[in-house]
Structure 1
């Protein structure tokens, strides 16, 4: 068993090193101008009229909410966090690598807001998200060299064993973080840690292109709406939009998974 684990980690290390070398050499080969063009293409190209309307309407919600607030209630930091978060999840739905740039911005601002609100679970989750953004960016870019040119991304499905492993991971994270919060005097340790479990699993599934990630995001968004209820209007609005996008993401990615299975 130890030999198998050692071999697996060695393969991961070598694949990671090769992937990093590949992307570094490719970036140098393409040059700054071409890399900039590719980033621009990832941000704006290959989007239907419906997808443009979907992006514009949903990303406008935090701006509309901000404009309706009283001058004394303005929360510009919350606005940026909400807007970047919404754009990030929509870009994930579309399979765009640039989602990670918006995700990193959102994570850093959200971490600051969560610390100020004293939400222990949100602080841990956001730290995890912040670390996972560059890792996810690397994995998505690295995976692109194994795809066919006409494919934007390849959706994968969990096996039965994969489901068991990810459910156990969710439960373990929930209980582990619950006891951790309890040890530092949290008044609601196991309620705060629910989103830790769903977020950890959802992010890992996202980096692996699994459509089942959206089921964990839906659970996360429902609990987060409850968590932020009555506090920041931007955070509530952001999670409502997240929930809508998660349902849409589940629909579109599950369809792609069925096509890939044929």
Structure 2
């Protein structure tokens, strides 16, 4: 038991050390990468950038993809028509649904809708007095431009083949590191909320842990992000129940999309597209 605890402590130290080195390395590359992105933008011109943005939002989507997008957005709109509780809540839900579907489709424009959603959701969370949601949404707002930067830099890297560079899988050590990260954020934010008099600090901080890990994995293009998003959605449905009908509907749609996203990204990572159903099912859980 003692050796096991020592092993866990060592993994935590290694995790923090590796994360620190990674942050320092990325910071050193920031000026160079920003120059590359700026030069590319100047080469394209404003018209070219707008065309690329338009293409990322609207083009390259199958008929089934359009049906899925319209159907999930319609759920939010119909929910508002049946129970017109808050227009701003409906807009938050709609932009959030578009954002998570675009993440599923691996479209960089997800960060545009994610930023709009985060700013509105931050306002709603402040109104409701949800300390955990305020902290998490502030983190999300900051992460939107950072995530967009990371995706664009990755997209400009030379490829050795046509494989999608935005689909990665966690190793066993990666799982341990990210579970530890979730626990650290959960406990740390829980004690922070407790210090300012929150009624249920560790309940409120659960979504901080799962959200932070989900966002980190999303920025790195990991399929396992969807598991943490799914956990976030389950806890958030409980948190917002009875507070905002539109937000609850949004999280139910998020939960559905988390399942679809996990299947889609895992199939990409394992090369399961086009395989027989029995091989796909076996591959997803192997």
Task: Please indicate the TM-score interval, normalised by the length of the shorter structure.
Answer: over 0.9
TM-score by length of 2: 0.85
RMSD: 2.0
Unaligned runs of 5+ in 2: 1-13, 273-286
Shift, 1:45, TM fit: 0.9
- Within 1, Cα distance between the matches of 2:64 and 2:22? 43
Q: 1:29 aligns with which of 11, 21, 43?
A: 43
Partner of 1:104: 115
Q: 2:70 aligns with which of 36, 56, 59?
A: 56
TM-score by length of 1: 0.93
| Closer/same/farther in 2, CA of residues 10 and 130 from structure 1, 3 Å limit | closer
Q: Is the 8 A contact 1:95 1:153 kept in 2?
A: no
Q: Is the 8 A contact 2:100 2:254 kept in 1?
A: yes
> Which has the higher mean CA deviation after the structures are superposed, 15-24 or 243-252?
15-24
User: Is the partner of 1:242 in helix, strand or coil?
Assistant: helix
Correspondence 1:133 to 2:148: no
| Closer/same/farther in 2, CA of residues 48 and 139 from structure 1, 3 Å limit | same
Q: Is the 8 A contact 1:158 1:212 kept in 2?
A: yes
| Closer/same/farther in 2, CA of residues 83 and 6 from structure 1, 3 Å limit | closer
Partner of 1:202: 214
Q: 1:241 aligns with which of 250, 253, 275?
A: 253
Q: 2:195 aligns with which of 183, 187, 198?
A: 183
Unaligned runs of 5+ in 1: none
> Which has the higher mean CA deviation after the structures are superposed, 145-154 or 198-207?
145-154
User: Is the partner of 1:209 in helix, strand or coil?
Assistant: coil
Correspondence 1:211 to 2:223: yes
